[in-house]
């Protein structure tokens, strides 16, 4: 008998791989280790971030091949603004380059790009590039790529609470009608299934304020490999581990 699942939990429908294992519909990745990868090689951190972009290309291809529908990656957290100004400048420059040079290929491969997070601190030209990329790829459906930029899970939850409070104050929402479903509809990811699998690279075992609400019932896989070395085969390993787990959503198994 299947286990009961709360109606507020947006469960992704997992498909089945050729070997019989489950394929997560939504994979989220904390791409960690660019700086350490570069430091270990005596290279500037910028080089690590560039190699990290290459790793993302590999994972995009592999995700589409494996049948993943949604891929969400943690590109730049709200806390990352505290990094040295020169590193932030380099990261923003890499983001500009990616948006200018990669969108044509992403669009051609049927990938839809969306960006979640607080855009207020991003420069106007980056915001324009993001909006253009989102419009250009809006009709694609092979893979949904969501990039979290200037994003923090706590800030997202606070923003949703503020929106609900304003609606209640205005009289358009009865406070008694505020439940998990209503709250979820005010998150950045309201039209997406919750992640089934969350991967973090580099060996660190923490979630770093990423998709706090959405990942309540996700399966976590922590991998020792630094992000620039991450490959499609590593994604397959994580998906295979996911496929061997039994998801209970809080119920007894």
- Residue pLDDT, tens place only, 102-153: 999 999 999 999 999 999 999 999 999 999 999 999 999 999 999 999 999 9
Domain of 106, in residue numbers: 15-153+194-243
Count the domains in the chain.
1
Q: Is residue 5 in some structural domain?
A: no
In a domain, 173, yes or no: no
pLDDT mean over 86-115: 93
* 200-244 pLDDT, tens digit each: 999 999 999 999 999 999 999 999 999 999 999 999 999 999 999
- Domain-embedded: residue 169: no
Q: How confident is the model at residue 6 (pLDDT cuts 50, 70, 90)?
A: very low
131, containing H or E segment: helix 124-137
Which phi and psi (to 5°) does residue 224 adopt? Answer: -75, -20
Q: Do 226 and 36 contact (CB within 8 A), yes or no?
A: yes
Is residue 66 situated within a structural domain?
yes
The verdict on residue 25 lying in a domain is: yes
Distance (Å, rounded) from C-alpha 51 to C-alpha 53?
5
**Within a domain: residue 98?**
yes
Q: Does a structural domain hold residue 92?
A: yes
What average pLDDT does range 190-199 have in this prediction? 97
What's residue 4's pLDDT? 31
User: Tell me, what's the pLDDT at 21?
Assistant: 62
Annotated catalytic residues are: 32, 80
Whether the model clears a pTM of 0.85, i.e. scores above it, the answer is yes
Judge contact between 45 and 39, C-beta under 8 A: yes
Q: What is the CA radius of gyration of the chain?
A: 19
* CATH number of the domain within which 42 lies: 3.40.1180.10
pLDDT in the model for residue 246? 82
Q: Which residues contact 170 (CB under 8 A, 6 or more apart)?
A: none
Q: What is residue 187's predicted lDDT score, i.e. its pLDDT?
A: 98
What is the strand order of the sheet 111-116 is part of?
111-116, 143-151, 70-77, 26-30, 197-200, 219-222
* Model pLDDT, residue 81: 95
Does residue 3 form part of some domain?
A: no
What's the length of the chain?
A: 253
Query: Which residue in this structure is represented by tokens 């020792």?
Result: 224
Return the ∠ at Cα 161 (arms to 158 and 7), rounded to 5°: 115
Instruction: Give me the pLDDT at residue 247, please.
Output: 77
């Amino acid at each position: 008998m299947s286990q009961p699942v709360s109606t507020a939990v947006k469960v992704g429908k997992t498909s089945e791989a050729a070997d019989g294992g489950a394929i997560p519909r939504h994979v989220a990745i904390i791409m960690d280790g660019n700086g350490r990868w570069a430091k270990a090689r005596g290279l500037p951190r910028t080089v690590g971030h560039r190699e990290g972009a290459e790793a993302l290309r590999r994972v995009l291809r592999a995700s589409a091949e494996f049948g993943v529908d949604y891929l969400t990656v943690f590109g730049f957290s709200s806390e990352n603004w505290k990094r040295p100004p020169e590193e932030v400048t380099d990261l923003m420059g890499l983001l500009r380059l990616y948006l200018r040079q990669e969108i044509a290929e992403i669009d051609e491969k049927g990938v839809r790009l969306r960006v979640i997070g607080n855009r207020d601190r991003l420069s106007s030209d980056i915001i324009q590039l993001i909006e253009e990329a989102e419009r250009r790829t809006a009709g694609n459906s092979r893979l949904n790529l969501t990039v979290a930029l200037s994003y923090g899970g706590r800030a997202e939850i606070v923003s949703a609470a503020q929106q609900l409070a304003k609606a209640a104050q205005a009289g358009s929402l009865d406070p008694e009608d505020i439940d998990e479903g209503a709250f979820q509809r005010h998150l950045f990811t309201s039209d997406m299934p919750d992640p089934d699998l969350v991967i973090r690279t580099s060996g660190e075992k923490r979630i770093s304020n990423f998709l706090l609400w959405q990942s309540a019932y996700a399966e976590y896989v922590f991998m020792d490999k630094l992000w620039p070395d991450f490959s499609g085969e590593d994604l397959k390993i994580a998906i295979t581990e996911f496929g061997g787990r039994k998801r209970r959503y809080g119920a007894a198994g």
